Amino acid sequence: MKKRIVVALGGNAILTTDASANAQKEALIHTAQYLVDFIEAGHELIISHGNGPQVGNLLLQQQKGATEKNPAMPLDTAVAMTQGSIGYWLENALVNELKKRNISKKTVTLLTQVVVSETDPAFQLPSKPVGPFLSKEEMNSEKKQTKATYVEDAGRGFRKVVPSPKPIDIVEYPVIKQLVEHGIITIAGGGGGIPVVMKDGGYQGIEAVVDKDFASEKIAALVHADMLVILTGVDYVSINFNQPNQLDLNKVTVAEMERYIQQNQFAPGSMLPKVQAAIAFIKENTNGKAVITSLENIKKLLEEDTGTIITA
């Protein structure tokens, strides 16, 4: 049975240790092979993606080359720039994979604005990691130049953090809905979308990065998707993670996941926002389901319902 599916692809799945354009294109060629499985199974597909590493790297490049006559671009513009570059690479990879499988489908990348509130408390407490992992020495050096806020991220080094307000609305959601209704594979909400606020009767960009999982949830709810698939580095969400009594979760309810959140089972800034986004989607669409799993598990998800599947 045909379903409308929103797939949220992590920025770290696009960029690994090699930040070059060619390496990211290669990663997305690999990614496209899995994503086209949804199309081959007859589903409508909307793809969102992260950009944390990419937008952070772009900001560093901007800062290094900035002059009085050629100043660095603001954060919202950098998000738009990475929406374009990653969308271009992903669209190209999808078109080529569709041709290989003789599937006649059109693909488009849509520049997407996400409405946030200027009074969101996130602006007082930057928390969203962007850019590469730095050693303590590299972090201290960068901090002297940029005055940015840095935090240790998952024991892998220090990363710059920026405000990450919650999405209120998606400006282009009617266009996304229209495109997918016409059978067009739509890449939207890249990097969590370009953050904008309503001001003086219009939208204005603001310095922030919206979490791509929450932005993807908002898109999925507004276009009445049947399923939200959040891709991460593991096949299952687990409780008691990395402990002898670790338990992988397969089919769970919102109530069970909320209980696990109260038990602090999910790491903030890592698995927690994915679980929260999945719960938010189910609460807005009680007939839908949310899945958290890995890219490599997509075929098994389609055939066997494996992965962490959350329902009302």
Helix 173-181 and helix 212-222, axial crossing angle in degrees, nearest 10: 60
Identify the active-site residue in 160, 177, 212, 289. 212
Instruction: Report d(CA 58, CA 75) in Å as an integer.
Output: 10
Instruction: Report d(CA 152, CA 172) in Å as an integer.
Output: 35
Q: Give the number of other Cβ atoms within 10 Å of residue 17's Cβ.
A: 7
Residues 6 or more apart whose Cβ sits within 8 Å of residue 144: none
Residue 33 burial class via C-beta count within 10 angstroms: exposed 0-12, middle 13-18, buried 19 and up: middle
H helix intervals, the chain: 21-40, 52-65, 75-100, 136-146, 173-181, 212-222, 254-262, 272-284, 298-304
Residue 11 burial class via C-beta count within 10 angstroms: exposed 0-12, middle 13-18, buried 19 and up: buried
Identify the active-site residue in 10, 11, 288, 307. 11
Task: Please confirm, yes or no, whether 11 is among the known catalytic residues.
Answer: yes
Residue 111 burial class via C-beta count within 10 angstroms: exposed 0-12, middle 13-18, buried 19 and up: middle
Identify the active-site residue in 160, 177, 218, 274. 274
- DSSP for 73-115? PPHHHHHHHHHHHHHHHHHHHHHHHHHHTT----EEEE--EEE
Task: Please confirm, yes or no, whether 12 is among the known catalytic residues.
Answer: yes
C-beta of residue 183 within 8 angstroms of C-beta of residue 98: no
Which of 211, 291, 227 has the alpha carbon at shortest distance from 257? 291
C-beta of residue 48 within 8 angstroms of C-beta of residue 8: yes
Task: Please confirm, yes or no, whether 128 is among the known catalytic residues.
Answer: yes
Identify the active-site residue in 50, 57, 128, 190. 128
Residue 2 burial class via C-beta count within 10 angstroms: exposed 0-12, middle 13-18, buried 19 and up: exposed
Catalytic residues: 11-12, 128, 212, 274
